[in-house]
Structures are given as structure tokens and as C-alpha cells.
Structure 1
Amino acid sequence: MYLETPRKFRGLVNQANQVARAVLRPISRKYDSREHDYPVELDMLASLLDAMNDGAGSGTGAGRLNTAKGDSQTVVNGSNLSTVLGLTELCWGDVGLSLSLPRQGLGNAAIAAVADDEQMKKFGHLWAAMAITEPQAGSDSAAIRATAKQDGDDYIINGEKIYVTSGERADAVVVWASLDPSLGRAAIKSFVVEKGTPGMEVVRLEKKLGIKASDTAAITFTNCRVPASHLLGNPNIDVQRGFGGVMQTFDNTRPVVAAMAVGLARAALERTQELLKAQGIEPSYKGGLYQRPALEKELLVMEAELESARLLTLRAAWMADNGQPNSKEASMAKAKAGRTANAITLKCAEICTVRGYTEDELLEKWARDSKILDIFEGTQQIQQLIIARRLLNKSSSELK
């Protein structure tokens, strides 16, 4: 199967690749060794990327889910698809730096997914991080304990969030909190908390295995007061629907993370092929797979795995643009791409031996960077659980 990039996005893809090649790759090692230093070189890219995003307001955050069904002859190639295409190229350059681009935060996807038009005007221009994970609530988003109690025209937020990507640098944080913990996941809502709001404090920056150019923060909220207008989506608690509104965020962000994984895996595989070609090793596409030498077989299998991950990612994003429910497909793309990126980057480091393991090449860095792509936005196990629920038509209480 061969799918062409839509003509209107080819310029965007080319620009993103040029940014990755000319800006991100050259400083990749620099900020890997200077964890928590802000990559000042990225500031000049912010306005360019804003223009590239076709008015969506965010590259990493993707666009709004298109709820217009349209007819079978209508095909929409919108901001979700353009985001995954552009971000694949940027992460071919560097994942951590891509996550550090101003106004390209994962929290922007939460805003794009469920905000109304007025909220989009107010928050769409901000660089927004997303705060979901807590010390006692990791992959199970429904287990969060942060609370948001209504007080007149405000909500008062209390709780602690960890592993907040760009939590220190972003202009705002989208915080998941419960209006009433006794009502379970149905009461979980998301709130925009702008930087500098009293009661919000960045208490720690994490030291990490990979994506060191990106800051990862722990944030506490102590009687943090935000206006009621900062609650994204419907403020009413619908026990029957659960927390589908806030979970819609993941239908946008999981294809985005899958795109990151595809870009990173492609970088590792292409560099490995370059190094092997210089040694006279180039795979042949003639004959059966198991008639090839072992090394050639490894390369061909990695190519096939990468292509399958890429196509799943494009499908999930395309479905979002065309108003088709994509929860299952978003999880399939995230699970496949995250697992594939881990496998390919590690295998490439192994194949290239000393050059793959030392800092002479970016291969060892890419192997470290890839692990987070199989963890954040839902681990491999969580994605498989979601896929099983969708395939079997089971609720979260029926299939745990």
C-alpha cells in the first residue's frame, strides 16, 4: 500500500524536515547533555510553526475533532493529519526539542479537543502543558485524586501532578481534577490554569533517561483558584457518559505521540542504513525474506514494522479530521508506533555496535529517547486494554 501526502501538506512536510535538519539535529546533543537548559534557538521557530499549523493554534496539540459527519464523498484532510505529518519530520530531528517548541504543548490538544469557541480564542494562543499523572495515579487516569471544588464563579483546585511535560516553561497547564471524587471518573474535568496563578507551584524538575531537552515538572496546587470559565467542555457531571469529554483529548494526542515515534524510528533506521551502506551492506528486495542474510532480514522487517505504524497513525488522524470515532484506532496507532520505535532504535544501536552505543552517533540517544514514547499518553498495556474494550464492546467496569 502506498499513500501520498496530500498536496496541500507537502510544503509543510518539507518545511518541517528543513527545520529538523538545519535546527534540531545540530543542537540535539547539546541539550541532551544540558538537561533543564532552555533551548533558546527554538524561539525563532515559534512564529514559523504557528503559520505552518494552518490556524490550528498548535502543532503538537493537533486540531479540533471534526464532528461534522459529511457524506461518503467528502474527504477532509485537516489539522490532525497535518500535525502528525509535520511532527513526524520534527521528531526525525529531535523528540525532546520538538516537545520544547513554544505553543506546541500536549496541553494544547486538550484545549483543541473540548474547548468552546470562546475558550479557543482565549487559550488557543497559549503554550499549554497537560497535567494528568499523580503519584498514586499513573496509567489509570480515572484514579486521579486532585479535586476542583466550586466556589461561586470560581473553582478551587487542590492536588499534585507529576511528569508534566513543559510544566515549568509553558504559559498554562491543563489540569485534570475531580468535581466530586465520590462519583468516580464521571466527575473528572479539565481546567486551564495559567502560569503565575496563586497556589500553583513547580516544586521539582525530573532527571530522565531521555528527551532531556524537554523539562518535566512536578506541580502542586494548593487552594488554587481559577474562574469557572477555565473549565473545558461541559461542567455538568454525566454519570452515564462517564468522562468521555476529557478522554476525547487522547483521541487527538495518541496519534500525535505515535507520529513522534514514527519520526524517531525512521531517523534511527535511515542512519543505520547509511552506515551499513558505507560498509557495502545494502538489502536486496528480491527473493523471500528468509532467503536473505540475517542482517538484511532485520532491516527489511524493521522497514515493514515502521510502515505499518506510519499507516495506522495516518488513519487515526484522518478519522479525527473526518468526524469518525477514532478511540480504538488512536490506541492502535499509539501501541504499535511506541513498541516499534523502542524495538527499532534498540536494534539499530545493536547492529551498529560501538558506533551505536557511544556518543559518536545519535543512535544511543535515540534509543534512550524512544522509551518515553511507549509510556506517556498511556502505556502499551493501557492501549491494549482500550483496544480490547472497543473490539469486545465492553465498558471499563466490565473489562479491567
Structure 2
Amino acid sequence: MNLEIPKKFRGLSHQAHQVAQQYFRPLSRKYDKAEHAYPRELDLLAALLDGMNAGSPETVGAGSASKRGAGAEEGVRNGGNLSALLGVMELCWGDVGLLLAMPRQGLGNAAIAAVANEEQLARLRGTWAAMAITEPGCGSDSAAIRTTAVKDGDHYVLNGEKIFVTSGGRADSVVVWASLDRSLGRAAIKSFVVEKGTPGMSVTRLEKKLGIKASDTVSISFNDCRVPAANLLGNAEIDVQKGFAGVMETFDNTRPLVAGMAVGVAKAALDRTRELLSKAGCRFDYRKSLLVVSHAEATLYRLEAEWEAARLLTLKAAWMADNRLPNSKEASIAKAKAGRVANEVTLKCVELAGALGYGEDELLEKWARDSKILDIFEGTQQIQLLIVARRLLGKNSSELK
């Protein structure tokens, strides 16, 4: 097994780390304290990233996370999913909230990349897309969506409410999940791109949050909101046999990215805690048995092992997407493992650092707060474990709830 970063992505990974260190880190505390203020400094960075994508066959960022074109090459392929993941890992070593606040890097962009047709990809290129799935009565069970989309000539009319929409107040458009026919269940759920300012679409609430405060999170209502039929992503036909698989393919690409966010912030906490413990006298000699080192050293070793496991599972899920291998189970495994590890690592690092970890002189307490959402959004820990169980046992959602 060769577990090194592919040579063609090393430059990208290094550049992302530099951005995290020199650009994100200095802004972290500023926008953690100024919740709901838009980080204007990100505009230049987003423009630079757009420029890189314009001249590169292998685009970087959330929009590159797609199975499109994968498998065209002979042999093993390292493509857009892996490049997006490596970038996310490094940028979240800097700041998760700032990454989520970056223009044109939303999970909605990954959704467009995953399921849009070629015409839609060309037309929507350059848009900043948020993702709207969760509803007041529908959290982890995406199949229970109540927002409806009724065909009316060349448009669909959307009615419903979405909550916890990341970047929903800032993005150019929102990818909205809605049902074409609720009597047909999950098979009728499709995703629509609704542009900002569309009549009938309105932001109704701005959330105050535990972490990722640089990113805005909103509720959006749709009241007879007319969306062009051309903005229904992918195939408009309802395929009862295929069921939910088409729109759910989005998660196969986005869940490894969220796992990558967790891997990134956990690595930040481990690196800083190691520095602080080294200053306090810890030697970190890996040749010694855990029985003869300090409790702090032994704890850090265990956390590093958990982090490495999460990292490898996440890389595997993205690599499988690049090679057009079914990765729904692996995406959920990665998301479940990395989300839980990030929570444990960041909280334990606060504990190991003592008073320094709890105070605002260090970013450790912020990383602990930021990490919590990574075990919740894009499917909670419990839902990921349920999905994995269904895949392993060969059962569907009605047979194993």
C-alpha cells in the first residue's frame, strides 16, 4: 500500500496548508467573536481559487468532488474527490468556520458537481451554492422531506421551509431538496437550484451557534416560489426502482468532505497540544512502552492513533469515489469515525492543556466548539451507523430503522 499524498496533489496540499496558517489562523478569533459578520478577506482568496480552477483540468475545491468522468482512465485514478478532500483537510487545520464561509466552496457546490447534467454544470459555473435539506419536522431522515415541488409549465412551484442552511443568507443560490409527489415517498425527492432573490424565497431566521461562527446558518421559507424547470438537477423522471439513490449520491461525495473537515480540525488540536506539552517537559519517545510514559503522553499517542484511523478511512472513501466504486458505506464509515474522533480529540486536548486549553489565549477551546457540528451535519453519528448497518446486513430503510 502506498499511503503517501499523490505527487500531483502535493503542491495543492502545501498551498492549502500555507493559506490555513497565514490567512485563516490570524482571522480565526476575529470572526469567532464577530458572529454573523461576513469575512471580506475571503473574497480575494476565493478569486485566487477561481483563477486556479480556470487554468487547471483538475479543479480544486468543493466543486471538484464528483464521480463525473471517473473511470475513464485505465488503472487507479486520483481525481477531484481526493484533491478536494486534501484541500479541505489542510484548510480546516486553519479554521472550519472560515472554510464554510468561503464563496463558491459550499456543500451545494459539491451537490451540483455530483448530480447536475453537462448543460447545468456550464450554466451554474461560478455560482456559490448553499445546501438546504433539513426541515423543522425532518432532521436526519432525509426521506421525510415535506417541501413540495409542483410542475407548472416551464417552472416548478416550491412550498415548504428549510432550517440550518449553511451560508444560506450569503450564497448566490441554494440547492433545495423537495418532493415531486409525496405519495411516492423518497423516490420522488429531487434537488433544485433556487437563485437568491427569487420571489417566494425568504430568509426567516439567522442562527446563533456554539461554533463555526464565521459561517452564517439560516432558515429559509418557500411560498409559491417559482423555479425554472431547467434548475432541477439531473433527471426529472421519478424512478421508483432506483428510488432515493440519485439524489443521495450527493452524500457519497459530501460526507468524505465533512469527514475531512473533522480530520483537519483534530490535527490542529493535536499539533498545538503536542507543542504545549513539549514546553511542559514531555519527551514523546515512541519507542517507549505506554506503561512507562506520562499519562499526558500516553493519552496523546492514543488520540493520534484514532486520528490516523479516521484520516485513512476518509481518504479511502474519496479515492473510491474517484474510481467510481460504490462508496456509500465507506462515506458513512468515514463520516461517523472522523466526526466522533474530532469531538474526542479536541475536547481531550483542551483537558490536556489545562487552563491554557480553556482560555481564549489559545484556539484549542474554539476548535472544541467548532468540531461539534462535524458529528451532526451531513447526517448525524447515529444515522451514519444506521446506514453502515443497513449496508452490512443488506437491509433497506423500512427493514432496519
Length-normalised TM-score, structure 2? 0.97
Corresponding residue of 2:8: 8
> Residue 58 of structure 1 contacts residue 103 of structure 1 at CA under 8 Å; is this kept in 2?
no
Cα shift readout 1:4-24 (whole Å, capped 9, x = no counterpart): 111111111111111111111
Q: Distance in 2 between matches of 1:80 and 1:384?
A: 23
Corresponding residue of 1:87: 88
Report the AA paired with residue 132 of structure 1.
I
SS at match of 2:62: coil
Corresponding residue of 1:39: 39
Report the AA paired with residue 24 of structure 1.
F
SS at match of 2:193: strand
Q: Distance in 2 between matches of 1:288 and 1:262?
A: 26
Q: Distance in 2 between matches of 1:51 and 1:79?
A: 17
Q: Distance in 2 between matches of 1:213 and 1:399?
A: 38
Q: Distance in 2 between matches of 1:60 and 1:224?
A: 27
Q: Distance in 1 between matches of 2:166 and 2:392?
A: 31
> Residue 88 of structure 2 contacts residue 264 of structure 2 at CA under 8 Å; is this kept in 1?
yes
How far is the alpha carbon of 1:238 from its aligned partner? 1.3
How far is the alpha carbon of 1:361 from its aligned partner? 0.4
Q: Distance in 2 between matches of 1:334 and 1:139?
A: 14
SS at match of 2:223: strand
Corresponding residue of 2:147: 146
1:352 correspondence with 2:342 = no
Cα shift readout 1:248-279 (whole Å, capped 9, x = no counterpart): 00000000000000000000010000011111
Q: Distance in 1 between matches of 2:120 and 2:201?
A: 21
Corresponding residue of 1:328: 329
Corresponding residue of 1:59: 61
Aligned-residue sequence identity (percent) comes to: 68
Q: Distance in 1 between matches of 2:291 and 2:247?
A: 47
Residues 1:140 and 1:340: Cα distance change in structure 2 (over 3 Å): same
Corresponding residue of 2:390: 389
How far is the alpha carbon of 1:64 from its aligned partner? 1.9
How far is the alpha carbon of 1:91 from its aligned partner? 0.4
Report the AA paired with residue 143 of structure 2.
A
Q: After the TM superposition, which of the residue ranges 2-11 and 76-85 deviates more from structure 2?
A: 2-11
Cα shift readout 1:211-262 (whole Å, capped 9, x = no counterpart): 0000001000010001111001111111121111110000000000000000
SS at match of 1:232: coil
Matched ranges for 1:275-290 at <5 A: 275-290=276-291
1:236 correspondence with 2:237 = yes
Q: After the TM superposition, which of the residue ranges 132-141 and 52-61 deviates more from structure 2?
A: 52-61
> Residue 67 of structure 1 contacts residue 322 of structure 1 at CA under 8 Å; is this kept in 2?
no
How far is the alpha carbon of 1:392 from its aligned partner? 1.0
Q: Distance in 2 between matches of 1:216 and 1:295?
A: 37
Matched ranges for 1:169-208 at <5 A: 169-208=170-209
Q: Distance in 2 between matches of 1:300 and 1:139?
A: 33
Residues 1:262 and 1:304: Cα distance change in structure 2 (over 3 Å): same
1:128 correspondence with 2:129 = yes
Report the AA paired with residue 287 of structure 2.
K
SS at match of 1:118: helix
> Residue 70 of structure 2 contacts residue 77 of structure 2 at CA under 8 Å; is this kept in 1?
no
Report the AA paired with residue 257 of structure 2.
V
Cα shift readout 1:330-355 (whole Å, capped 9, x = no counterpart): 00110010000000000000011111
> Residue 108 of structure 1 contacts residue 129 of structure 1 at CA under 8 Å; is this kept in 2?
yes
Report the AA paired with residue 23 of structure 1.
Y
Cα shift readout 1:124-162 (whole Å, capped 9, x = no counterpart): 310000000000000110111000000011100000000
> Residue 260 of structure 2 contacts residue 311 of structure 2 at CA under 8 Å; is this kept in 1?
yes
> Residue 52 of structure 2 contacts residue 59 of structure 2 at CA under 8 Å; is this kept in 1?
no
Q: Distance in 2 between matches of 1:156 and 1:234?
A: 17
> Residue 57 of structure 1 contacts residue 125 of structure 1 at CA under 8 Å; is this kept in 2?
no
Q: Distance in 2 between matches of 1:262 and 1:70?
A: 30
Matched ranges for 1:251-270 at <5 A: 251-270=252-271
Report the AA paired with residue 136 of structure 2.
P
Q: Distance in 1 between matches of 2:293 and 2:70?
A: 49
SS at match of 1:334: helix
Report the AA paired with residue 136 of structure 1.
G
Report the AA paired with residue 343 of structure 2.
N
Q: Distance in 1 between matches of 2:72 and 2:121?
A: 23
Q: Distance in 1 between matches of 2:201 and 2:59?
A: 25
5+ long unaligned stretches in structure 2: none
SS at match of 1:395: coil
Matched ranges for 1:361-380 at <5 A: 361-380=362-381
Report the AA paired with residue 17 of structure 1.
H
SS at match of 2:136: coil
> Residue 58 of structure 1 contacts residue 104 of structure 1 at CA under 8 Å; is this kept in 2?
no
Q: Distance in 1 between matches of 2:101 and 2:64?
A: 15
Q: Distance in 2 between matches of 1:338 and 1:110?
A: 20
Corresponding residue of 1:226: 227
Residues 1:51 and 1:81: Cα distance change in structure 2 (over 3 Å): farther
> Residue 57 of structure 1 contacts residue 124 of structure 1 at CA under 8 Å; is this kept in 2?
no
Corresponding residue of 1:162: 163
> Residue 146 of structure 1 contacts residue 157 of structure 1 at CA under 8 Å; is this kept in 2?
yes
Cα shift readout 1:273-328 (whole Å, capped 9, x = no counterpart): 00111111132211333443221110100111111111111110011011111000
Q: Distance in 1 between matches of 2:359 and 2:250?
A: 38
How far is the alpha carbon of 1:75 from its aligned partner? 1.2
Cα shift readout 1:95-132 (whole Å, capped 9, x = no counterpart): 00000111101001110111000000011310000000
